[in-house]
Amino acid sequence: MSLSLKNRIAVVTGASSGIGAAIARELSASGVKLVLTARRADKLIDLSRELPGEVETVAADIAASETPRRLLERARERFGGINIVVNNAGVLAMGPVDDVDLDAISRMIRINFEAVVRTCYTFAQDFKIQRSGSIINVSSVAAFGTRPTMGVYAGLKAAVETFSNSLRIELGAHGVKVGCIAPGSTQTGMLLDLRSSIGISPDAPPAKAEDVAAAVRFMLEQPDRTNIAGLRIYSACEGN
């Protein structure tokens, strides 16, 4: 029997578009109260207006060191607590050795890994005290097999997987769940750049952001005795 998500409180990062927006829609339809964050305030507001449930928006840069604490405090102020955090924010920077944008790579490191670590630790401290809570980190199937020019992106996603598993083991005895969901080729803004880099035809049908969002909901609906540590979601056209 699946666990009801009604009236739970979740923070979703990178929520203004793509997978993050799909997760927001899926959780709101399941009765979850949401704190949504991204850099674009206008997109967050537009999304919040279409959702059926209660929503708080926080326009912020997830790479800023103070942002995770702001999100936790906003959840407490608006809803009285927090049950779930979904670390979805991410960017893609890649290129050959002789033409790589190191500033873009450095920012990707801050967003795709450092921000995940900061957010996880900030919320995990509260979850450990209350002896409940769920953390879901969005990684990528690139964590399990890289390609030329995208080694940093793939390495960061592999780091998210390893960090999440370590955190899961540390917090499991305290009633806190931690898991990773690794999308493959998904219909988002990153799709064309990523597909061209790994040799997938642009005409091959990708998975949809809604497919990933449904999988996130599935992970969260598991009973207390179960923690889904990881899911990979490939489109039907993908190999490894």
User: Would you list the DSSP string of the chain?
Assistant: -PPP-TT-EEEEESTTSHHHHHHHHHHHHTT-EEEEEES-HHHHHHHHHH-SS-EEEEE--TTSTTHHHHHHHHHHHHHS---EEEE---------GGG--HHHHHHHHIIIIIHHHHHHHHHHHHHHHHT-EEEEEE--GGGGS--TT-HHHHHHHHHHHHHHHHHHHHHGGGTEEEEEEEE-SBSSTTHHHHHHHHT--TTSPPB-HHHHHHHHHHHHTS-TT----EEEE--TT---
Q: 183-208 b/e with 16+ CB inside 10 Å = b?
A: bbbbbbebbeebbebbebeeeeebbe
Q: What is the pLDDT of residue 239?
A: 60
Of 137-146, 199-208, 231-240, the one with minimum mean pLDDT is 199-208
Identify the CA nearest to 135 among candidates 108, 183, 170, 107.
170
Classify residue 4: in a domain, yes or no: no
Classify residue 192: in a domain, yes or no: yes
What are the catalytic residues?
153
Classify residue 31: in a domain, yes or no: yes
Classify residue 65: in a domain, yes or no: yes
pTM over 0.75: yes
Q: Report pLDDT digits (tens) over 61-112.
A: 999 999 999 999 999 999 999 999 999 999 999 999 999 999 999 999 999 9
Q: Which domain holds residue 22?
A: 9-233
Percent of the chain with pLDDT over 70: 90
User: C-alpha angle with apex 25: 128 to 155, nearest 5 degrees?
Assistant: 60
Instruction: Say which residues have a Cβ less than 8 Å from residue 52's Cβ, sequence separation at least 6.
Output: 28, 29
Which residue is listed with tokens 């399941």? 30
What span, in angstroms and rounded, lies between the C-alpha atoms of 24 and 127? Answer: 21
Q: What is the pLDDT of residue 193?
A: 55
Q: What CATH code is carried by the domain that includes residue 56? A: 3.40.50.720
Confidence band of 115 (pLDDT split at 50, 70, 90): very high
Task: Please state the separation of Cα 133 from the chain's center in Å.
Answer: 15
Number of structural domains (the chain) is 1
Structure tokens at 232: 């990979």
Classify residue 2: in a domain, yes or no: no
> Distances from the Cα of 155 to the Cαs of 10, 112, 230, in angstroms?
27, 10, 17
Classify residue 95: in a domain, yes or no: yes
What span, in angstroms and rounded, lies between the C-alpha atoms of 176 and 168? Answer: 8
Classify residue 240: in a domain, yes or no: no
Task: Please state the separation of Cα 98 from the chain's center in Å.
Answer: 31
Classify residue 3: in a domain, yes or no: no
